[in-house]
Amino acid sequence: MKRHILRILAVAIMGALITGCAAMKLENNLPQFSPQTFSSDMYKQNVDNFIVIIDSSFSMVQSHKEQFRLTLGKAIIDRMSQTIPENLTLKTGLISYGYSQKVKNAVKLFHGLTDYSKDSFKAALDKITPTMGGDLKLSNAITMATDILIKAPGKSAIIIVTDGKGNDSALTDAARLAEKKMDNPVAIYSILVGDPSESVQWVKTFSETGVEGFAVNADYILSEHKMADFVKKVFMLRSPDTDGDGVDDPKDQCPNTAAGEEVNADGCIADNDHDGVYDSFDKCPGTQAKVKIDAAGCPMDYDQDGVSYLNDQCPKTPTNVLVDKRGCPTDNDKDGVYDYQDSCIETPEGIKVDERGCPFDTDKDGVYDYQDSCIGTPEGVKVDGRGCPFDTDDDGVYDYRDICLDTPEGMKVDPRGCILDADDDGIFDYQDACLNTPLGMKVNDHGCLLDTDSDGVYDPNDDCLKTPLGIKVTPRGCPLDIDGDGIYDYRDSCLGTPAGMKVDGRGCVLDSDNDGVYDPKDICLGTPMGVKVDSRGCPFDNDNDGVYDYEDSCPATPAKAWNVDEQGCWIAQKIFFDYKKNDIKDASALTLNNMARVLNSHPWVSIELWAHTDSIGSPEYNLNLAQQRGNAAKNYLLSLGIESRRVGVFAEGLNFPSYENKTKEGRAFNRRVEIKIVR
């Protein structure tokens, strides 16, 4: 009895202790913490996903430096979360492991894997409370974390918070398996809560796994700057210092500094004369202050003519141009145009020149004005040495105005330089055989009107200038078209076409489908080649079923007897039955009466009755019922005088439903007899 009471008392005390621990604030009695920020320019993100595993077993409620170990562990993780830079894009999870009454080693996922948020992560962290008793199995928690991270893209980290107590023989294997199973890199970090001496053996055991990561004591990373160092090592990768000058590349304004050079905070070499060129590159290291310099650190010679800009009166001289001592280009003919720009470097002194240094040539005839006797010659006109236009036939009209350059000597000419042409037909009077040609008429070489096609009609009056020789023409000079179809008679193979008829190139009425019926009378244009047609140009349909004979696969099936398909064949009909019945209903009787008329009018036709049922009942029952329905339909036809040999019955039962049997409507459609016509 006493032992039982002691047990109850122990449980009560333990429960009170745990409840008190759970009720404590996260950082009770811990020093104040203000997260230290650090420049993300110096670092880049090195982890894409992380899961925190917190040991919540009973040993974690033991005191360490006046703090519960679990409280300290949660505080460390919260401080880590506060320190993680805001610009990182992460996915995170939170797992605790300890003991429950049902399972000794309880592993629970409190959060994720989900997008990282400081607030949601803090809310999940606050929910973790201590558990009682049980053996410690961190390996199971690592396995759970591995299974969660195995599909996550990018690099992952597992951060373990524990006091290192407990005996877990599978720990090493679980860590190694995590690295082996993951497609992407994974690292495991341990934060040990308690005295370092208590967890030495645990760290040694875990380090034997060979997995990337490290262990750190919680007390060591409580401060702001130590926690910032921890976050950098776990989540970030320091930017490189490519040139090894001690200044990281993002801050290095001189990234290619030579090895061994002393640099300033910007990573650049010293500039003792303060001219903006580092000493190691400065070819003029003693340049005076405020003097403009070039890239080599020497005073500027902007135009590179060998004269310093301080003494250069022409500071914009082009490169490689010969200059005088003032730095200005030479001008040997003293015309005001520098030699390097002067296209006429020997112009006589005192002659006005253009921007090229050449004397003016106002009319641009190639003779300078001071040598030109005919200034004002139109541009492009050839001139002689005096600058005057040529007059080859010496008729007083310059060649550029003379449209008759070979006028015989002594002939009087008009202002165009041509001998007179009284009727203005282009034939000079002394060569014109028809002096009175009407104005504007085209003439031949003798000055007479043209008749190009020799049809007796002069070209000005001829509307058809290319009429073949010997063809009779109208007064307009065009060949005859007696039937007015647009095809001249000499090309018309069908003279006498009725007025208004469209014709082809031969003058014959169109028959576009070549069926022997001209298009104006053809109401079925496009009939395939070789198909026989009636007088309207339409293919024959002997059985009047709406399908032309050349497309009709069943040419003896009139549509009035039964509906036909696109190939001209009769379409199978259906009759339907009530549930478990084989009675012929009124609607079915009407269908069978029509079928009887078809059979009587087409004695060469036979039919097949294919009987079906719904799915209710056994296959044997439904096969028998189908046979009864087929026989009932056949007997009805026999009663109408149809021979038995022309009606076949085939029972299918429930084998071939045409609709889903799941619904009442579907089953009704499946209780049927299909009537198929055969020959």
Out of 241-245, 416-420, 485-489, pick the least confident.
241-245
Amino acid at 586: D
The rounded distance, in Å, linking the Cα atoms of 274 and 477 is 99
> What is the model's pLDDT at position 414?
82
Sheet holding 106-115, edge to edge: 106-115, 91-98, 49-55, 156-162, 186-192, 215-217
| Tens-digit pLDDT profile for residues 364-394 | 888 887 888 888 888 888 888 888 888 888 8
Among the three residues 204, 238, 272, which one is the final residue of a domain in this structure? 238
- Whether residue 586 is contained in a domain is answered as yes
Q: What is the CATH number of the domain that holds 99?
A: 3.40.50.410
245 assigned to some structural domain:
no
pTM of the model: 0.40
248, pLDDT greater than 70: no
Tokens of 129: 């409370």
**Per-residue pLDDT, 10:** 36
List, as one string, the DSSP characters of 132-196.
-S----HHHHHHHHHHHHTT--S-EEEEEEE---S--TTHHHHHHHHHHH-SS-EEEEEEE-S-G
Give the long-range contacts of residues 273-281, CB within 8 A, separation 24 or more. 273/297, 278/254
Looking at the structure of the chain, the number of domains it has is 2
Query: Cis link prior to 113 (omega < 30° from 0)?
Result: yes
Given 205, 238, 271, the domain boundary residue is: 238
* Helix 619-639 vs helix 586-601: crossing angle, to nearest 10: 60
Residue 132: pLDDT band with limits 50, 70, 90 = low
* For residues 293-317, average pLDDT: 76
Give the whole-angstrom CA distance, residue 298 versus residue 282: 8
The strand pair at 91-98 and 49-55 is best described as: parallel
232: which 2 tokens?
A: 């950098």
CB 233 within 8 A of CB 221: no
Task: Please give the angle made by the CA atoms of 231, 233 and 236, to the nearest 5 degrees.
Answer: 75
Torsion of CA 434, 435, 440, 445, to 10 degrees: 50
| pLDDT tens, position by position, 563-579 | 776 666 667 689 999 99
Give the separation between CA 404 and CA 419, rounded to whole angstroms: 8
504 belongs to a structural domain: no
Residue 16 has pLDDT above 80, yes or no: no
Summarize the confidence of residues 186-207 as an average pLDDT. 76
Q: What is the 3-state secondary structure (H, E, C) of 98-150?
A: ECCCCCCCEEEEEEEEEECCHHHHHHHHHCCCCCCCCCCCHHHHHHHHHHHHC
Give the mean model confidence (pLDDT) for residues 50-70: 89
Q: What CATH number is given to the structural domain containing 665?
A: 3.30.1330.60
Residue 387: inside a domain: no
Please provide the average confidence, as pLDDT, over all residues in the chain. 81
Going along 240-281, which residue ranges are E strands?
Answer: none
In the predicted structure, residue 405 carries a pLDDT above the cut 60: yes
Final residue of a structural domain among 238, 273, 297: 238
**What's the domain range around 200?**
22-238
CB 303 within 8 A of CB 318: yes
pLDDT in tens, 628-649: 999 999 999 999 999 999 999 9
* DSSP label of 662: T
Residue 642 belongs to some domain of the structure: yes
Mean pLDDT of 587-607: 90
